[in-house]
Structure 1
Amino acid sequence: MKTVDKIEHIAFLKVPKTGSSTLACIFLRFGIKNKLDMYLPKSTALVSREKQKRLLEEKKCYDIFVIHTHFDRMFFTNIVRRDSAIIGLVREPTQRIISHAFYFKPLRKSKEMKSLSEQEYIHRVLRNTSKYGAENVMGAYFGMEKKHRKKDYIHQYIESLNSSFSLVLVLEKINESLILLKRILNWSFADILYGAKKELESKIKQGGKDFQSEVLHFENILHSVKTFCGKAVDDSKIEFPSSKWDRSFEVHSSECELIFRMDVGKIKKRY
């Protein structure tokens, strides 16, 4: 392994119900371990376009930005320090809508819906997403204007996003995506560990012959860390030897909470 500096400046486009909280916690944990400057406002509400403008006017840059907001190239290239990586995450649209429908408890408990079976409930929401506030919002979060629906505009806009984002992960390929992230950021396996709450085709294919071997190695590490943390005692640690993909590293029992039991809200309260 060559010794290369890790990329420490991350702007993450956090899109609701795409698995974004898991990835946000990975970035925040990295910020905590490396004593980086993270943007953690009191409110976890969406950072509006107006709030984006105010933050830019303050002319303060951060190392880590992972709050819900809509993509704006000017904002994302200025809210974090230079040499930053802009990261996104997407999910299969129907599954994202289903996740949203179950997450939004007032709708599920409404008079209209509470007597329905889960299957009937989901079918009703999917048949009329706009009525129930469950539209596919991924395009809007990535900055795509709703009024433009022509294929030419969509293709051109996606091409412009390709030039802006260092990587857009795919939830359905999360482990493969995380290995790509590790390579792009020059990170370690220790930096991309996560506690699974739910268990890029072209770039994955370009990863090289040993890409799937690295993914399998990472999955073995995840399993070992999960087993260790389930039985860990104070001041204990698990050691991983160096491999062709990474230097040796350790996971201490004190890190188990950050990996498996922390969310963005808890991190904000503590740090």
Structure 2
Amino acid sequence: MTQKNTLPPPEGKHNDILCNHVVYNRTSFRKYMRNDTFYVGILREPYEYFKSVLNYLRPDYIFKKINTSLPVSEYLKDPRKYEPKSPAMSFTNNRLAFEFGCTADVIDSSDAKQIIQFVKSVDSDFGLVIITELFEESIVLLRRYLNWSTKDVIYLDKNIAKNKNTTSFVDPFDRQLYKRWAKVDYALYEYFYRRLRDQIRREGDDFDEELLHFAENRKMASEFCSAGETNKKSNSKLIVYKSKWSDGFERTSSDCDLLRKKEIPFVQDIRFRQYGTRDI
């Protein structure tokens, strides 16, 4: 976040939420966000993230520069031989840690003390780190921490890769090689996986009840929104009754349109509401 890529809030307003994909920088964030800001991040199991990058981005320094039948295995034998010089230019060199503000010198050194210090700094800054493998649990916890309603956190599945087949270029032994390479990512992920489990445990016996309630509401929303034009023509509504965790609410076809909307159009709509124009 810098003055070059950050719009000032409209006159008489202040920043409330930043929800774009951005590399975390403690100093910059505190310059633009209020002192009582609640910080939320997200982590994925590092090797699963690595496979996703291979499948989606297919980095040239792996798939074009390495001419073998198993280029990923060859890359993992000596990643530094193929990696871009700067971690900022790589999506395979401890990228999860980099996104949370880990500096290049810590990534390059893999020094245990520096890694611990980095993880502790993230721990002190972030009230919640969502774990992709425990996504629904994370969202229920987010609702509780921010005192939001169930309606506020219902979501539809989006951006799920249609082709997840990475077996053609990944060897079963690659996972261990990658774990040896992505030391900072694994330190970060394993710490926050354990922390999330502890946070859930502290929520008490009714957390599992709410989790089930949330999953049922998600299913209802998905089924309702899948009807699409039928709901619009009939002005149908999905009515969700009050529960011990949230007031009752209604879903309309307009809500479904918002839930399905992709990031950039959504940001443009919000920008128009804030500034009266999308051309910024």
TM-score by length of 2: 0.67
Structure of greater Rg:
2
Q: 1:267 matched to which residue of 2?
A: 266
Deviations 1:213-267 (A, max 9, x none): 11111000000111111125113211111111111111111111221x2221221
Matched ranges for 1:72-91 at <5 A: 72-91=25-44
Answering whether residue 200 of structure 2 is matched by residue 204 of structure 1, we say yes
Structure 2 Cα separation of the partners of residues 209 and 237 of structure 1: 32
Aligned residue for 1:163?
124
Shift of 1:112: 6.5
Q: Take 1:127 and 1:223, find their aligned partners in 2: how far apart are those partners?
A: 44
Cα shift at 1:105:
5.1
User: Is the partner of 1:239 in helix, strand or coil?
Assistant: strand
Of residues 248-257 and 56-65 in structure 1, the stretch that sits farther from structure 2 once superposed is: 56-65
**SS of corresponding position for 1:217:** helix
Identity %: 29
Aligned to 1:65: 18
Q: 1:129 to 1:90 in 2, by over 3 A?
A: farther
Q: Distance in 1 between matches of 2:262 and 2:76?
A: 29
Asked whether the equivalents of residues 182 and 189 of structure 1 are also in contact (C-alpha less than 8 Å), the reply is yes
Q: Which residue of 1 aligns with 2:212?
A: 216
Structure 1 distance, partners of 2:267, 2:5, is: 19
Q: Which amino acid aligns with 2:255?
A: E
Give the counterpart letter for 2:237 in structure 1: K
Displacement of 1:113 = 8.1
Measured after TM superposition, the shift of residue 137 of structure 1 is 0.6
Structure 1 residue 114: Cα displacement: 11
TM-score where L is the length of structure 1: 0.69
Q: Could you say what secondary structure the match of 1:64 adopts? A: coil
1:189 and 1:246 in contact (8 A); partners too:
yes
Distance 1:140 1:109 in 2: 20
Name structure 1 gaps, 5 residues minimum.
1-46
SS at structure 1 position matched to 2:27 = helix
More helix by share: 2
Deviations 1:10-49 (A, max 9, x none): xxxxxxxxxxxxxxxxxxxxxxxxxxxxxxxxxxxxx5xx
CA distance in 1, matches of 2:67, 2:218: 38
Give the deviation of 1:70 after TM superposition: 2.3
